[in-house]
Amino acid sequence: MARLIRTEKEVEGRYTEQWVVVEEDAAIDQWPAGPRETVGRPVPRVDGYERARGQALFTADVALPGMLHAAVLRSPYARARVRRLDLSRAREADWVLGAIGPDDCDALTLEPGFHGEPVAAVAVDSPGRAREALELIDVDWEELEPLLDPEEAVRRNELHEEPRRYERGDADAAFADADVVVEAEYRTQTVLHNPLETHQSVCRWEGDTLEVYISTQFIWGVRDDIAESLDLPPDRIRVICNFMGGGFGAKNGAHAQTFIAIALASQTGRPVRCALSRREENLATGNRNSTIQRLRAGARSDGTLVALEGEFVNAVGWKGWSGPTYGPMEMLYACENVRTLTYGAKLNLPPNAAFRAPGFVEGTFGLECLLDELAGRLELDPLELRARNHADRDLADDRPYSSKNLLECYRRAEPHWARRDAVRARSEGPWRRGVGLASQIWYGGGGPPSYAWVRIGSDGRATVITAMQDIGTGTRTAMAQIAAEELGLPLDRVRVSLGDSSRGPYASISAGSSTTPSMGPAVRAAAADAARQVIEIAAQRYHLEERLLTMQGGKVVSSDGGSWPLEEVTGLLEDAQILGKGARGPNPTGMRVLTFGIQVADVAVDVETGEVRVERIAAIHDVGRVINPLGAQSQVEGGIIQGVGHTLSEERLVDPASGIVLTQSLDAYKLPTIADVPEIVVELLDIPDEHLTNLGSKGLGEPPIVPTAAAIVNAIRDATGADVRSLPVSRDEMLRALREARERERAAAPA
């Protein structure tokens, strides 16, 4: 029976209440902890060969008959007004087949608020000539003074929303009573997602149905965005994304390129591709915005945190949202008195977008560096300081955790942490070595609504069908493993069909570390429903007792001895098929579902040149049950490598006078290469969350990037005594921090 329930939905820390239909009538018990037949065992990706051989069809490879190619005229100014936009020369040129301005498409504007905002677009039939056609658009620009300084925006009250204020307890009184108070200002830079497949869409009208091929993290979100913006019935929009070349949070909606392609497809009657160049990607598709964090911590001399205070300025850009930079301060420790104030500055800079644990990466850097500065003042071991302030329940919401094994993570971190004397002893010449750590908290519980079907054919093979997307995280493989486990089938007899809103049920977004915890339980429920039907059929055909039957090893097995190959049972159906349906049940009521962990970094710092090398990172995370340890390891490594880039090399630079983005190419914007990778040690606790659905798995994509920057910077302090307070740790910043440390030492020395 369909059950209608009202439940809480969380994506990247934003909670909403919503109605969902849950068909999960018979509760399915979680599997016991530990590796099963397929789940919990390392498995190479089921689509690995297609991807490795270049056979996987990405949106970048979609070529439809008669397809046109769009180019977008973007504002060369951070703030401007278009006095006159004249498309007539473009419209008159016989080789230009479409030309649109703000009158034709809401994604275009005559009042651009950032460098790169789309103003007009054209379509031609040769990809090479699309940009050339932009020269036929006549524009009179009036350049306006941009607002670029986030502090100035706060002073002028140029904000995206009212400042967010939070307080629990009495921070002022607690600071007054504290034995030790430390305070510092931390800054984080703007970083760019840079998925290797840029934002792109191919749109075509098929009768009254709009087909949208798009590189996206959320097929259904694209459908909703389009339906809402263009006032179309959602079922007349088909969204397709079979293979996808990375997103990291930047591809959660339809985005401007889709609306431009739709408008040009409507105008020309032809399919239109709108694909961003790398430089456009680095202007206009989002970023992790820079932050300023003024933080204060008060503690008793035994290390008990009594008060925390933070003022956060998120430099959001022209559009976007003010992320939860305050989150770690409010959630990570058992501190009774916490006060935060957060501003989302509206600036003439490209909009932000969610980027792998938005807000928490930035906020953890500040908070966890401050904790180490506090440990230094208290002369307390940093790991011990964290353990003493462990939160047994969530103080921000006053709720118990569904599961939390952070102390076990700390315990497993001890051997890595204990290496620090040996690491320091390897300092030689100008190279000083040290070890640092940082703790991690983030969401990752997923939630409903998410649905899946499992189809079993007469050949005894199963197909998981759901309109989700695999953004490269390996969800196709994880879903195949879950279905194979439930059906007692070898993995090579399970396929996964996804990526098409017209060919599968509603599925969740691939963001917020939610894909496995959202989709996995639905897939398992669908497989269980299909298995139940197989057993019912077998019982009738062979006159058996249903309660004695299970599916194992590709057979229907009776506990009193007999067994029948699955294809023999399903073969009775000839061409017909069995269809199981499954839905994701609700999250546990009244509990906080979160992920936890700790990372320990070894670094080497050349105190003469300011060069920093990360030599080793040990990552210990508690993310519930692990479905595929091989893919999980790769996810953790990938998160850490992005974290290393964020800490040491990546920075979007903007000309401070004009607001022009300077780092548009991959030459100017420094991504980590294979030569920059430290030794990485991954340990996942793999303890199922007993309260979390039929699976006990949480998400894994984001936790590993959360503590990396703080662990590295704390290791730098351990190695050199220098307090780095700004990311990236450029040589300038490193040398500044070293100078400051020397001056401090000199001032403290007896005259």
Partner 1 sequence: MLELVVNGGRYEVEAPIGQTLAETLRGPLGLTGTKIACGEGHCGACTVQLDGVPVLSCITLVHTVGEREVTTIEGLRDHPLVDAFVRADALQCGFCTPGQIVSAAALVEADPEPTPERIRHAMAGNLCRCGTYPRIEEALLTWRD
Question: Would you count residue 219 as binding partner 1 (CB under 8 A)?
Answer: no
Q: How far is the CB of 42 from partner 1 (least distance, A)?
A: 8
Question: Would you count residue 127 as binding partner 1 (CB under 8 A)?
Answer: yes
Q: Where are the beta strands (DSSP E) in 215-271?
A: 237-240
Question: Would you count residue 248 as binding partner 1 (CB under 8 A)?
Answer: yes
Q: How far is the CB of 410 from partner 1 (least distance, A)?
A: 25
Report helix, strand or coil for 345. Answer: strand
Please give the Cα distance from 31 to 284 (Å, whole number): 45
Taken in order 188, 189, 195, 196, is the CA torsion positive or negative? negative
Q: Which of 2-10, 171-179, 606-614, 662-670 is the region at the interface with partner 1 (rule: CB under 8 A)?
A: 662-670
For partner 1, the closer CB: 45 or 270: 45
Q: Which of 45-53, 415-423, 440-448, 513-521 is the region at the interface with partner 1 (rule: CB under 8 A)?
A: 45-53
For partner 1, the closer CB: 586 or 638: 638
In DSSP notation, 666-703 reads TTTS----GGGPPEEEEEE-----TTSTTT-B---SSG
Q: Which of 370, 640, 729, 738 binds partner 1 (CB under 8 A)?
A: 640
Please give the Cα distance from 407 to 409 (Å, whole number): 5
For partner 1, the closer CB: 15 or 49: 49
Burial class of residue 544, CB neighbours in 10 A (0-12, 13-18, 19+): middle
Question: Would you count residue 633 as binding partner 1 (CB under 8 A)?
Answer: yes
SS3 content of the chain, % helix, strand, coil (to 5): 30, 30, 40
For partner 1, the closer CB: 222 or 525: 222
* Count of C-beta atoms within a 10 Å radius of residue 503: 13
Q: How many of the chain's residues bind partner 1 (CB under 8 A)?
A: 56
Pair 340, 312: CB distance under 8 Å: yes
Residues from 345 through 404 that contact partner 1 (CB under 8 A) = none
CA-wise closest residue to 606 among 387, 362, 430, 376: 430
φ and ψ at residue 316, rounded to 5 degrees:
-70, -30
Q: Which of 317, 499, 588, 639 binds partner 1 (CB under 8 A)?
A: 639
Describe the crossing of helices 219-230 and 255-268 by its angle, rounded to 10 degrees.
60
Please give the Cα distance from 751 to 748 (Å, whole number): 9
Q: How far is the CB of 402 from partner 1 (least distance, A)?
A: 28
Question: Would you count residue 474 as binding partner 1 (CB under 8 A)?
Answer: yes
Q: Which of 291, 403, 642, 649 binds partner 1 (CB under 8 A)?
A: 642
Q: Which of 193-201, 397-405, 449-457, 482-490 is the region at the interface with partner 1 (rule: CB under 8 A)?
A: 193-201
Q: Which of 90-98, 242-250, 291-299, 510-518 is the region at the interface with partner 1 (rule: CB under 8 A)?
A: 242-250
Pair 212, 258: CB distance under 8 Å: yes
Question: Would you count residue 653 as binding partner 1 (CB under 8 A)?
Answer: no
Question: Would you count residue 515 as binding partner 1 (CB under 8 A)?
Answer: no
Question: Would you count residue 195 as binding partner 1 (CB under 8 A)?
Answer: yes
For partner 1, the closer CB: 157 or 665: 665
Please give the Cα distance from 707 to 394 (Å, whole number): 19
Please give the Cα distance from 188 to 367 (Å, whole number): 12
Question: Would you count residue 246 as binding partner 1 (CB under 8 A)?
Answer: yes
Q: Which of 43-51, 316-324, 522-530, 560-568 is the region at the interface with partner 1 (rule: CB under 8 A)?
A: 43-51
Please give the Cα distance from 491 to 462 (Å, whole number): 10
Pair 412, 620: CB distance under 8 Å: yes
Question: Would you count residue 242 as binding partner 1 (CB under 8 A)?
Answer: no
Q: Which of 101, 116, 118, 245 binds partner 1 (CB under 8 A)?
A: 245
Question: Would you count residue 675 as binding partner 1 (CB under 8 A)?
Answer: yes
In DSSP notation, 554-584 reads TEEEETTS-EEEHHHHHHTTTT--EEEEEEP
Report helix, strand or coil for 397. Answer: coil
Question: Would you count residue 194 as binding partner 1 (CB under 8 A)?
Answer: yes
Q: Which of 448, 672, 699, 721 binds partner 1 (CB under 8 A)?
A: 672
Question: Would you count residue 131 as binding partner 1 (CB under 8 A)?
Answer: no
Question: Would you count residue 707 as binding partner 1 (CB under 8 A)?
Answer: no
Classify each residue of 660-670 as buried b or exposed e, where b means 16 or more C-beta atoms within 10 Å of its C-beta.
Answer: bbebbeeeebe
Residue holding tokens 């300084």? 149
For partner 1, the closer CB: 575 or 667: 667
Question: Would you count residue 49 as binding partner 1 (CB under 8 A)?
Answer: yes
Question: Would you count residue 533 as binding partner 1 (CB under 8 A)?
Answer: no
Q: How far is the CB of 507 from partner 1 (least distance, A)?
A: 18
Question: Would you count residue 561 as binding partner 1 (CB under 8 A)?
Answer: no
Please give the Cα distance from 285 to 209 (Å, whole number): 27
Question: Would you count residue 218 as binding partner 1 (CB under 8 A)?
Answer: no
Question: Would you count residue 661 as binding partner 1 (CB under 8 A)?
Answer: no
Q: How far is the CB of 453 from partner 1 (least distance, A)?
A: 25
Alpha-carbon torsion, ordered 54, 59, 62, 67, to 10 deg: -150
Question: Would you count residue 65 as binding partner 1 (CB under 8 A)?
Answer: no
In DSSP notation, 511-551 reads -TT-HHHHHHHHHHHHHHHHHHHHHHHHHHHHT--GGGEEE
CA-wise closest residue to 350 among 72, 656, 79, 648: 79
User: Would strands 679-684 and 612-622 be described as parallel, antiparallel, or unpaired?
Assistant: parallel
CA-wise closest residue to 232 among 208, 216, 203: 208
Q: Which of 44-52, 74-82, 288-296, 312-320 is the region at the interface with partner 1 (rule: CB under 8 A)?
A: 44-52
Q: How far is the CB of 44 from partner 1 (least distance, A)?
A: 5
Residues from 278 through 297 that contact partner 1 (CB under 8 A) = 278
Question: Would you count residue 19 as binding partner 1 (CB under 8 A)?
Answer: no
Please give the Cα distance from 582 to 579 (Å, whole number): 10
Q: How far is the CB of 691 from partner 1 (least distance, A)?
A: 30
Q: Which of 48-56, 423-431, 481-489, 562-570 is the region at the interface with partner 1 (rule: CB under 8 A)?
A: 48-56
Q: How far is the CB of 624 from partner 1 (least distance, A)?
A: 21
Which residues contact partner 1 (rule: CB under 8 A)? 44-45, 47-58, 60-61, 127-128, 193-198, 243-246, 248, 277-278, 471-474, 630-631, 633-635, 637-642, 665-667, 671-675, 677, 680
